[in-house]
């Protein structure tokens, strides 16, 4: 499947997260993004070096600035189970406006066409690193990395596009 690109409508799919009452919730991506400007960003894995020390912190640190430019939701997706995503979220002193969403079987990542096969590294199928600016379900900006790079998918690149 070809990767999602500018002009495409994001697919719907169900992802999991733990709410503020520590209850696991299932949520439709369309319910989070319909009628809103959102950033949907994906990382290869929770607790991995670049994801944990650079990619996710860029969105946490810039969340207020992104909100001031009209972004209503910051949706982090990783091919991990909801319990791992919960623990990862708790590893940050503050997560501001970032929602940590689990795509445990890579079903949604596959629907986006952004899967990355890391089986030879013992990680299985993961997500490519990406950041999508989405307005009412339509992709306005598609910053998709090659391999393990982190050059175009951070918060600064989305801010520049706004």
| C-alpha torsion 136→138→144→150, nearest 10 | -20
- Residues whose CB falls within 8 Å of the CB of residue 44, separated by 6 or more in sequence, listed in order: 51, 78, 79, 116, 118, 123, 126, 127, 128, 129, 148
Residue tagged active-site, from 4, 15, 51, 139: 51
Catalytic site residue 51? yes
Q: Terminus-to-terminus CA distance in the chain, angstroms?
A: 28
Positions annotated as catalytic residues are: 51
């Amino acid at each position: 499947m070809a990767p999602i690109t500018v002009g495409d409508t994001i697919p719907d799919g169900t992802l999991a997260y733990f709410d503020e009452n520590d209850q696991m919730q299932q949520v439709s991506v369309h319910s989070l993004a319909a009628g809103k400007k959102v950033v949907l960003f994906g990382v290869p894995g929770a607790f991995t070096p670049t994801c944990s020390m650079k990619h996710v912190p860029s969105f946490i640190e810039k969340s207020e600035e992104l909100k001031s430019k009209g972004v209503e939701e910051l949706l982090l997706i990783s091919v991990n189970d909801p319990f791992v995503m919960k623990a990862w979220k708790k590893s940050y002193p503050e997560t501001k406006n970032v929602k940590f969403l689990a795509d445990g079987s890579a079903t949604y990542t596959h629907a986006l066409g952004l899967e990355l096969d890391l089986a030879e590294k013992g990680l299985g199928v993961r997500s490519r690193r990406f950041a999508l600016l989405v307005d009412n379900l339509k992709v306005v900006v598609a910053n998709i990395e090659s391999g393990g790079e982190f050059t175009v998918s951070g918060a600064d690149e989305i801010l520049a596009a706004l």
